[in-house]
């Protein structure tokens, strides 16, 4: 059932090979990931689904270079992450990944503009250029009038749009979103999803965790997890 209509690329962005994440818990061990093999191609849009505790967030943390595998291999753009030290992982996140979280995770004391500029600050951009970039990104998510506001003065949907702008600041190839609509009402959630679909159409690889079927329906492909393993795949994939 190969219905890959996307001619864009066969290039593999993210690859997990027998990936295991095992937490020792007293005498027992928790197998959060228990042998996952999976490739995410460039330009794909995946929804990762599954019951609570099935290992979705664990997988996102691994892909996001925030955590390391206990066993198996993880290749990000062909680089074996295991060989990278903490600084190199940070560098990887900074240059290749964009994060969108359920609880937005904006820094409350910084203005919208400063929040968006954050990746650029760590990339060492000059103040003037990063300001221009922040304004451009704010315009893209429709918040150019809110640049001087603090996150607490924004609605949930607006906060998530700031988070998206921030995730896009470093122009990453891969966007990782862990329940991006989890804290939003349906209408606002749909708006956010539309944005993600747009971004995917512009070529971004998106991996998104969600519980909701109607949200997952926006993605090109769906991955169902259960007890740390892949239960089944759905939609467009190869």
Partner 1 sequence: MKYNKFWRDVLLGVENLLLHKLRSFLTMLGVVFGVGSVVAMLSVGEGASKEALEQIKKVGSNNIIITSMKSVEEETETNQRGPRMSIYGLTYEDRERIARTFPAVKQTVPVKLIREEAHIGERSMEIRVVGTTLAWFDIVRRPLLAGRILSPSDFEGHSAVVVLTEYGARRLLATKNTIGENLRIGTDNFMIVGIVKSEGGKAADLQLPDQEVDAYIPINIAKTYYGDTTRDGTDSREMKQVELDQVILEVEDLEHVEAVAKGIEVMLDRFHTKKDYAMSVPLALLKQAEATKRTFNIVLGSIACISLLVGGIGIMNIMLASVTERTREIGIRRAIGAKRKQIITQFLIETVVLSTLGGIVGLGLGIFIPLVITLTAGMPTVVTPLSVMLPLFISIAIGIVFGLYPAARAAEVDPIIALRHE
Contact set with partner 1 (CB under 8 A): 61, 64, 66-67, 86-87, 90-95, 97, 99, 101-103, 105-109, 118-119, 122-124, 126-127, 166, 170
- Residue 187 interacts with, from ligand ATP, Mg ion, partner 1, none (CB under 5-8 Å by kind): none
Q: Decide if residue 56 touches ligand ATP (CB under 6 A).
A: yes
Residue selected from 21, 42, 49, 57 as contacting Mg ion according to rule CB under 5 A: 57
| SS3 at position 24 | strand
Q: Which CB atom, from 36 or from 159, has the smaller least distance to ligand ATP?
A: 36
Residue selected from 12, 38, 53, 91 as contacting ligand ATP according to rule CB under 6 A: 53
Q: Are 10 and 39 in contact (CB under 8 A)?
A: no
**How far is Cα 124 from Cα 139, in angstroms, rounded to an integer?**
23
Beta strands in the chain (DSSP E): 12-25, 28-41, 45-49, 71-76, 79-80, 97-101, 174-178, 205-209, 221-226, 229-235
Non-local (6+) Cβ contacts of 179 within 8 A are 101, 102, 209, 210, 211
**How far is Cα 142 from Cα 135, in angstroms, rounded to an integer?**
10
Q: Decide if residue 23 touches ligand ATP (CB under 6 A).
A: yes
Residue selected from 44, 58, 113, 200 as contacting ligand ATP according to rule CB under 6 A: 58
Residue selected from 52, 83, 152, 202 as contacting ligand ATP according to rule CB under 6 A: 52
Q: Tell me which residues touch ligand ATP (CB under 6 A).
A: 23, 25, 30, 32, 50, 52-58
């Amino acid at each position: 059932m190969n219905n890959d209509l996307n001619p864009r690329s066969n290039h593999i962005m993210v690859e997990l090979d027998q990936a295991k994440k095992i937490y020792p818990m007293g005498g027992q061990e928790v197998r959060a990931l228990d042998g996952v093999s999976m490739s995410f191609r460039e330009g794909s849009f995946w929804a990762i689904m599954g019951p609570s505790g099935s290992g979705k967030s664990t997988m996102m943390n691994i892909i996001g270079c925030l955590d390391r595998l206990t066993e198996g291999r993880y290749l990000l753009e062909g680089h074996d992450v295991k060989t990278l030290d903490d600084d190199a992982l940070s560098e990887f996140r900074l240059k290749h990944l964009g994060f969108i979280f359920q609880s937005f995770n904006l820094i409350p004391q910084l203005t919208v503009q400063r929040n968006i500029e954050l990746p650029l600050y760590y990339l060492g951009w000059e103040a003037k250029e990063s300001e221009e970039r922040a304004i451009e990104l704010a315009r893209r998510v429709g918040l150019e009038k809110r640049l001087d506001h603090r996150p607490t003065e924004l609605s949930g949907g607006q906060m998530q749009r700031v988070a998206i702008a921030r995730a896009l600041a470093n122009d990453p190839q891969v966007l990782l979103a862990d329940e991006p609509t989890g804290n939003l009402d349906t209408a606002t959630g749909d708006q956010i999803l539309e944005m993600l679909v747009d971004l995917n159409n512009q070529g971004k690889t998106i991996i998104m965790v969600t519980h909701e079927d109607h949200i997952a329906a926006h993605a090109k492909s769906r991955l169902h997890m259960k007890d740390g393993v892949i239960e089944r795949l759905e939609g467009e994939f190869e």
